[in-house]
Structure 1
């Protein structure tokens, strides 16, 4: 019988910190989970480390190695392999609260249904401070778009999704020479189907690494313009407000200029807005190519 939850961890050369995640899973008060590790082409001792943990047989572990595809490629592989009802991504530099699995499974057993996408819960720093804001106590369920747009929550949140929905949503595209596409692509599409249950409980402790995608967003932006352009088209189409659509459009334009695609207006899902804000997109493009370190927009770790 399959467990209820798959905890999946994409990892690339993170053997030096992966033990924190492992140890937190060993401490879980419920064993109703499987740990799926997607090794995205690591060249360190990740495989040997995981094989040792498998021999210890303290928790159920499934390990899969693939050539490096980037975070989104590792997520694609995870969603192909997951067979449990629910899944949650815990990054290789993060770790779960000791009762996280118990909280997630019991909350879903009590409140979950096919009309819901999953659960949104809280992330915290390693010292226990909630990242950003708590979730609205007046709501039982909402989409991510509503939470960040209408209710103005801030900071990363932990997302637990129904696997069936993730499998039904198209995979992240892989572009030759690129290693990043914002994970929010799938979240936006799922937002159009059903909301997430709100659980104001800490289930994950986040330790941002200097080599992580969140800390190197300007580098990601420059190195992966096709991935960002693809994402911006989806974000433009489903933007909850015109202000958000304008923001996504400006970023869409700058990404296309990075790859010298001057047909971006014809290819845009919002052609008039794209035409209207082309000057702003060009200014952002010029700013990006002349800036070594910068924060692009309101970037979250799971974006």
Structure 2
């Protein structure tokens, strides 16, 4: 029988810890899913670890290996290979609570016929009782990711699950010389057309590791400045308050500073008074908060 959901895991040199995620998948109360792992050029024992899981035969697993190109290229590879209705990206150093798949699919079963919904959004936590940031607003049943953060003022990472066909329609665009662009580059484009059904429950348990993206966010910005510019220009186009417009103009120019095109980027901004106001702040941020330490 065809599965409803793909749990997708992009991984790079996480052979030492990906087994914890595997064990959490084996413990799921619903097995209506398959596991798709895209190895982004690991140089450790990831391949043999996953091979061992496949040999156990306890879970439907597809393993793909590609040249190292970054998480978002791995995500595009995963979406292209996905054969299920839903796509759930779960990092290789995290785990799911045992009812995660069941909880998502029970909610999805009640709302999948609503064509205005792109999928489901649930919560991440350090435990089932401690969210990574704030709890979802009480009584919220549907939202865009943009509204969740900028209207309802949620803080912390979430667990979004999308219709695979929509992720195919909105792939990540990664600059040829870079390896990263923020995940919300895709999510906020989908927001312009669809909402997400809200699952007010922690289903994903995570801690940020020292070798992860979150721990090196400013370094990632310096190393992938054109992707950062692309992301912040998208945010700027969607911003509907002065505060957001000023914030994203400043951060767009931070990216331009590291990309070596500050003057060109400044001239290309549509709101010249705002760009003039934000330029000194962007330069200050680039020289202080975002500088290499």
Cα distance change, pair 50–150 in 1 and its aligned pair in 2 (3 A): same
Q: Figure out how many residues of one structure are paired with residues of the other and give that number.
A: 291
Query: Which residue of the partner structure matches residue 257 of structure 2?
Result: 257
Task: Report the TM-score, using the length of structure 2 for normalisation.
Answer: 0.95
Q: Deviations over 1:219-252 (max 9, x none)?
A: 1111111111111111111123221111111011
Cα distance in 2 for residues equivalent to 1:7 and 1:289: 34
Cα distance in 1 for residues equivalent to 2:124 and 2:290: 33
Cα distance in 2 for residues equivalent to 1:127 and 1:196: 21
Q: Does 1:105 align with 2:74?
A: no
Cα distance in 1 for residues equivalent to 2:76 and 2:128: 32
Structure 2: any 5+ residue segments left out of the alignment? Answer: none
Q: Deviations over 1:4-54 (max 9, x none)?
A: 111000000000100010000011111100100010000111111111111
The answer as to whether partners of 1:7 and 1:90 remain within 8 angstroms in 2 is yes
The answer as to whether partners of 1:250 and 1:281 remain within 8 angstroms in 2 is yes
Alpha-carbon distance, 1:60 to partner: 0.6
Structure 1: any 5+ residue segments left out of the alignment? Answer: 293-303
Q: Deviations over 1:137-187 (max 9, x none)?
A: 2221011111111111111111111111111114322331x2211111001
Query: Which residue of the partner structure matches residue 280 of structure 1?
Result: 281
The answer as to whether partners of 1:95 and 1:206 remain within 8 angstroms in 2 is yes
Query: Which residue of the partner structure matches residue 27 of structure 1?
Result: 27
Cα distance change, pair 29–264 in 1 and its aligned pair in 2 (3 A): same
Alpha-carbon distance, 1:279 to partner: 1.8
Cα distance change, pair 22–270 in 1 and its aligned pair in 2 (3 A): farther
Cα distance in 2 for residues equivalent to 1:133 and 1:220: 25
Which piece of structure 1 moves more, 217-226 or 53-62?
217-226
Note the aligned Cα RMSD (angstroms): 1.6
Query: Which residue of the partner structure matches residue 187 of structure 2?
Result: 187
Cα distance change, pair 118–277 in 1 and its aligned pair in 2 (3 A): same
Cα distance in 2 for residues equivalent to 1:285 and 1:232: 15
